[in-house]
Structure 1
Amino acid sequence: MDWDDAYANAPYIPNSEEFPDRWRAEADAFRQRLSVSGRARLGMMYGHGPREIVDLFLPDGVPKGVFVFVHGGYWRQFDGSLWSHLAQGALDRGWAVAMPTYDLTPRVRIADITRQIAQAICVVANEFDGPLRLAGHSAGGHLVARMLAPDVLPEDVMKRIEKCVPISPVSDLRPLMNTRMNDDFKLDETSAAAESPVLTDAPPTDVTVWVGGAERPVFLDQAQWLADAWGCNIIVDPGKHHFDVIDALTEADSPLMHAIFPSGA
């Protein structure tokens, strides 16, 4: 098996090279609009490093709670600002939205990134009252799933998490040891197992795994493995590939948003 090809998304998505520019244009316009209206708090520090920042977007009125979205990029690229526009759906539902940025491999290890996201969530939880809902895409799906392990978040923060939706998550990191990307990850059997949500006990939190129906087979497998390991619901979004499966976060009443905010929350 060609593991590098198996985990490569862009070569199998039409016009994949256009997506980053589109995301940037939509995110920049969104950030400007929210900043002008006084509903954006950009670059709040949650740690001491230059990438340990979180962008906060505020709804009209008192927030019902906080929706945390963690971006993907194989723990190797991008930052949270690129997907700012994806906050729109949760804002329209009356929730504040937090989008953390984190350090990247090979500068840090994936375990370090897990700790950074936990710290970001703790800082955000201290800023707002109410429940927390988590979602993340790809590597971000891995990171939000990792938040549900018993040794990651403080108990008082963990109790506030009502829902977690890993979107196209990497839930078992062990296959990635076979890819060239592991030159950056530096995973071995021990570290890969420690960072694999599929090897942790099912959390008490309500979890729905979401994945695009047109994704690469390994991502369909990774999503199913997590659903099987945790005994949770999995939804396969017909026709969606790895890059457009997150677009529905902009729409308050989309099926993806109903998975994150069930019962009209």
Structure 2
Amino acid sequence: MTEMRAATHGQSRAEIDEAYANASHIPGGMDYPARWAAAAAAFRESHPPQVIVYGDGARQKLDLFRPEGVAKGAVIFVHGGFWKAFNKSVWSHLAAGALDRGWAVVMPSYTLAPEARIGAMTREIEAAIGAVAEVVPGPIRLAGHSAGGHLVARMACADLTPGWRDRVARIVPISPLSDLRPLMGATINDDLGLDEEEAVAESPVLCDQVNLPMTVWVGAAERPAFLDQARWLAERRGCDLVEAPGRHHFDVIEGLAEADSPLIQALLA
């Protein structure tokens, strides 16, 4: 894995921060969170979710959107935000694509940094999926964006042994962070608190793998660091890598809202 670390080896904190910056490199990048929140609120008005508590923590709740009729299974989307921002309610509109295809769609919140370490977030997502498995029968498909892409990729690591794993039909990490070691030198690590031991343990490219179908998805117009992270994961898994033409880190997820998009087709394949 030495070639992975070479991407930030010897770089200053400012250089690593810049390598993983997104908003400043996307036209209108600062406007996206407000747009997501508005679209999500409008979607919940017409599709009120069932809220399920999956743990004792204040953020250990998930939204369950059910389709008309019997669900084909559950699509679970884990949000990003560098493990320290956002919650389940910012992304509700992204449920539209799979919902229209007859799938129940689930969006969990989880405890964020600095209150929780990344290892604890991994276990929360494992528990959230377990709660979904109890109320939605059938196959489970996992998608996650950025830090959420990291968390769903972690579900295919052998150190986790959830009872629901044999129901997972596909995992689609979108613009995932797959090797956390470069982030130890970033300003964000002041909140994450990553040390070498946790960075290795929580990196999907470094764990023993479980044989689950996976497709790694990333925007072709993303920052080189995110393209590297996606390529490393696809290479480690020996799975398909899709570099979506013209998509950047913030709009690469928009296909989740469209029933016939290539992203939804890959997720439901």
Classify the TM-score, shorter chain.
Answer: over 0.9
Deviation of the 1:72 alpha carbon: 0.1
Gaps of 5+ in 1: none
Within 2, Cα distance between the matches of 1:138 and 1:169? 4
Q: Look up the match of 2:255.
A: 248
Are the equivalent residues in 2 in contact too, given 1:118–1:153 (CA < 8 A)? no
Deviation of the 1:152 alpha carbon: 1.9
Q: Look up the match of 1:90.
A: 98
Deviation of the 1:135 alpha carbon: 0.4
Within 2, Cα distance between the matches of 1:62 and 1:149? 31
SS of residue paired to 2:160: coil
Deviation of the 1:151 alpha carbon: 2.7
Within 2, Cα distance between the matches of 1:171 and 1:229? 10
RMSD: 0.8
Within 2, Cα distance between the matches of 1:152 and 1:56? 24
Q: Look up the match of 2:8.
A: none
List per-residue Cα deviations over 1:41-62 (Å, max 9, x = no partner): 03x1000111000000000100
Which residue identity lines up with residue 210 of structure 1 in the other structure? W
Deviation of the 1:202 alpha carbon: 3.3
Which residue identity lines up with residue 216 of structure 2 in the other structure? V
Are the equivalent residues in 1 in contact too, given 2:159–2:208 (CA < 8 A)? no
Within 2, Cα distance between the matches of 1:234 and 1:260? 13
Within 2, Cα distance between the matches of 1:58 and 1:151? 31
Within 1, Cα distance between the matches of 2:229 and 2:110? 23
Q: Look up the match of 1:47.
A: 55
What aligned pairs does 1:98-117 form with structure 2 within 5 A after superposition? 98-117=106-125
Deviation of the 1:203 alpha carbon: 2.5
Q: Look up the match of 1:236.
A: 243
Q: Look up the match of 2:130.
A: 122
Within 1, Cα distance between the matches of 2:180 and 2:135? 32
What aligned pairs does 1:1-265 form with structure 2 within 5 A after superposition? 1=11, 2-35=15-48, 40-42=49-51, 44-154=52-162, 156-262=163-269
Q: Look up the match of 2:7.
A: none
Moved over 3 A (4+): none
Deviation of the 1:149 alpha carbon: 1.2
Within 1, Cα distance between the matches of 2:209 and 2:237? 4
- Number of residue-to-residue matches in the alignment: 256
TM-score by length of 1: 0.95
TM-score by length of 2: 0.94
Deviation of the 1:245 alpha carbon: 0.2
Within 2, Cα distance between the matches of 1:131 and 1:108? 30
Within 1, Cα distance between the matches of 2:188 and 2:37? 25
List per-residue Cα deviations over 1:26-76 (Å, max 9, x = no partner): 1001011112xxxx203x100011100000000010000000000000001
Within 1, Cα distance between the matches of 2:29 and 2:198? 31
Within 1, Cα distance between the matches of 2:141 and 2:161? 14
Are the equivalent residues in 1 in contact too, given 2:150–2:176 (CA < 8 A)? yes
Which residue identity lines up with residue 215 of structure 1 in the other structure? E
List per-residue Cα deviations over 1:161-218 (Å, max 9, x = no partner): 0000000000000000010111111111111000000012332111000000010000
Within 1, Cα distance between the matches of 2:71 and 2:190? 42
Are the equivalent residues in 2 in contact too, given 1:203–1:230 (CA < 8 A)? no
Which residue identity lines up with residue 189 of structure 1 in the other structure? E
SS of residue paired to 1:49: coil
